[in-house]
Structure 1
């Protein structure tokens, strides 16, 4: 097992692609050790080639699988104190309201379930001390969007969980941050070209720039916590 060599340790779910990859890459550039969580085994192999073992370790599995979460957190805890958890993993489903089926609901709920499971296990592993949890959601958690009814519902659930964690740990060394980004130019919308065209996607935010803005607010030496990060794209 790779050692963190005294580096601060972060867990990033959904680390293989898009925003998760950029958060991972930029944390490593800042001197962190990152435990990356993703179901994409091929991409995890690629990241193992890209990053040395003393700065990155990949875990392949379903973020909503409780046994996988428990085993992974136990292994990461063995490396040292976990300083940061970024719950970034999630899957979308964009359809007209009457187009949704049970499988679509289950798909969207994986992100919410994973957010809860990773938060619970990480809090227990660190004895609820000196931990920052950042829950990456969407601006869909702040409003209702046409043809995103189930996606919005799960993001509103994630927001409710985030706000409840803030209330539970107010005044402690556990800090909880809600992150609400708008549209990002990644493969996130690849199966919904009838809803978000590829041309429109390319007007969305650059994931590297977005990750930089998030981390500037999330990881710094200031004696403060930015509790909510709402980032809207520039409309053209």
Structure 2
């Protein structure tokens, strides 16, 4: 991968402010990367900007599914140098019984799918479709149907289809596509769904920092190979 500003590689992480996105961001920075973090949480982005230097972190505040925001942000990031890695991590949950879903739930879940497409296209164009790794963080919900996650699963299955299509399109090129499928993570992702996932059960889920380390170990390997799918399940207790 090419060197970025002051010898640092450049990565874009969507949903970078909290949870797994933050842990991925932190891990990349610890490994010497410059991270362009994308998130709608302005307060948290301000905290991170104050905590980290501009050579470690550049904060962008906006909706990952807003095409104008995506294009403007990628243009600013590309001006810093070649973008080496895009991690599409942003997404929003919606856990309900099938008959309880409404249009707003569908729109919320589909933001992640739309964002994944928009960021991928914009970065591919900026990098002239070369020397780039795109990691799409989805969920084990993209591999099976879950009773109280019908709309969420539909969005994740769409993300998996997009990921597989990118793999086919760029097979044999310097663009590498990786699908990441983590199981339950102990973060605030489930905070509004404790009727579905109790706090006691949630705390048996995977640690976000440990999960990020596993993902980055595979993504950043210097070996002459690509781990194209990363399926990570928690240890059941």
TM-score normalised by L of structure 1: 0.98
Report the CA distance between 1:216 and its aligned residue: 0.4
Provide structure 1 residue ranges, at least 5 long, that are not aligned to the other structure. none
Partner of 2:147: 146
Residues 4 and 55, structure 1, Cα contact 8 Å, conserved in 2: no
Partner of 2:216: 215
Query: CA–CA distance in 2 between the matches of 1:63 and 1:198?
Result: 29
Partner of 1:20: 21
Provide structure 2 residue ranges, at least 5 long, that are not aligned to the other structure. none
Matched, 1:63 2:64: yes
Query: CA–CA distance in 1 between the matches of 2:143 and 2:101?
Result: 21
Query: CA–CA distance in 2 between the matches of 1:6 and 1:165?
Result: 29
Partner of 1:11: 12
| Structure-to-structure mapping, 1:168-187, within 5 angstroms | 168-187=169-188
Residues 11 and 85, structure 1, Cα contact 8 Å, conserved in 2: yes
| Structure-to-structure mapping, 1:14-163, within 5 angstroms | 14-163=15-164
Residues 185 and 207, structure 1, Cα contact 8 Å, conserved in 2: yes
Partner of 1:191: 192
Aligned to 1:49, the other structure's residue is in SS state: helix
TM-score normalised by L of structure 2: 0.98
Report the CA distance between 1:49 and its aligned residue: 1.7
The count of residues paired between Structure 1 and Structure 2 equals 234
Could you say what the CA RMSD is over the residues aligned between the two structures, in angstroms? 0.7
Residues 85 and 132, structure 1, Cα contact 8 Å, conserved in 2: yes
Report the CA distance between 1:6 and its aligned residue: 2.4
Aligned to 2:13, the other structure's residue is in SS state: strand
Q: 1:124-155: per-residue Cα shift (whole Å, max 9, x none)?
A: 00000000000000000000001100000000
